[in-house]
Amino acid sequence: MSASVPLVEVTRGPFVECVHSGHAVICNSRGEVVRAWGNPDLTILPRSSCKMIQALPLVESGAADAAGLSTRQLALSCASHNGAAIHVGPVRAWLSSMGLGDDDLRCGPQEPNDRDERDALIRAHEAPCQVHNNCSGKHLGFLTLNRHLGGGSEYVGLDHPVQLAVRAAFEEVTEETSPGYGIDGCSAPNFASSLTGLARAMAGFAAARPGGGLRAEAQSRLVQAMMTHPELVAGEGRACTGLMRAMHGRAAVKTGAEGVFVAILPDLGLGVAVKITDGATRASECATTAILTGLGVLDPQDPAAQWFGHAPLANRRGIVAGEVRPAASLTSGW
């Protein structure tokens, strides 16, 4: 079993001021590890990086088609969005189309990350609602599946039919029995797996093609929805959106809390999973960008690759004093 390894450095002038260590795994479509850093057997909570797995029962059950969901709604079901108007509007419309309201969600209210939406709430003297929660699209997917299954209103319960279906899908695509779960920030169970299991699941999504069977069809539809609507998966200024735009349909990527990041690479049939030990998002974004450029699916000169792969650190006068950059372990050997 390997310890964590340095993946990202933070510089100031000529000095390395901080090092973010972690683990990363690349798996192929056969579920085999083709490259790893640190401990590929590390057990982690994938947090929001696995939302496309949590959305699988929505599509596989026929609930998405029965409800006439669009690719935009499928993208939102995989999203950790900014709570901008482009996100909140469709979420409200989706709720309304089901004859439901904000109180039917179980994700909890959250102040929007989007500045315009946050300022609009302040000016209107209104509090954030559950539709502003970054996970509200995922929860609309749960509600849509729940209506199809005929379950009770507490759809985030561990023994609820929705979460039983999610757990079954999670264990099938990771090819592991989950050792347990934690309750996520949005109140839904988040099932644990090894880092390799998470990368293996992403490789399965990468290999999926239309017409390949019920699961492959569902996986392919969710990946295509994410790549078609990257602005809905996260939002302006976010790594998921910026990197997917830069790769022009060559990859779907998804962040998760506490330094988790995944990538799905259909052209290469590969899945990537990253975990930063100290949970730093800046490091998971940088490490994932380095891996994507190393695999040749992201142009290292693209502005998004430069921004997230070599993020400048500016002081309060706007003077660039350092950067967040990949460690040598991630940039050598490609």
The proportion of the chain whose per-residue pLDDT surpasses 90, expressed as a percent, equals 99
- 268-279 pLDDT, tens digit per residue, is 999 999 999 999
Which amino acid belongs to residue 272? V
CB of 223 closer than 8 Å to CB of 52: yes
Q: Which residues contact 2 (CB under 8 A, 6 or more apart)?
A: 23, 38, 39, 40
Question: How many independent structural domains does the chain possess?
Answer: 1
Report the pLDDT value the prediction gives residue 2, as an integer from 0 to 100. 75
- 98-149 pLDDT, tens digit per residue, is 999 999 999 999 999 999 999 999 999 999 999 999 999 999 999 999 999 9
Domain range for 123: 5-331
In this structure, how many other beta carbons lie within 10 angstroms of the beta carbon of residue 121?
17
CATH code of the domain covering residue 213: 3.40.710
Q: Which residues contact 143 (CB under 8 A, 6 or more apart)?
A: 95, 98, 100, 104, 105, 155
DSSP 2: P
pLDDT exceeds cutoff 90 at 78: yes
Q: Residue range 293-314: average pLDDT?
A: 97
Number of helices (H), then strands (E), in the chain: 15, 12
- 201-230 pLDDT, tens digit per residue, is 999 999 999 999 999 999 999 999 999 999
6 phi and psi angles, rounded to 5 deg: -60, 125
Report the pLDDT value the prediction gives residue 207, as an integer from 0 to 100. 98
Q: Identify the band that residue 333 occupies on the pLDDT scale cut at 50, 70 and 90.
A: confident
Taking the alpha carbons at both ends of the chain, their separation in whole angstroms is 24
Q: Residue range 142-167: average pLDDT?
A: 98
The proportion of the chain whose per-residue pLDDT surpasses 70, expressed as a percent, equals 100
Q: What is the pTM of this model?
A: 0.97
**279 closest CA partner among 253, 257, 301, 259:** 259
Q: Identify the band that residue 1 occupies on the pLDDT scale cut at 50, 70 and 90.
A: very low
Q: Which residues contact 64 (CB under 8 A, 6 or more apart)?
A: 58, 73, 74, 144
Report the pLDDT value the prediction gives residue 130, as an integer from 0 to 100. 98
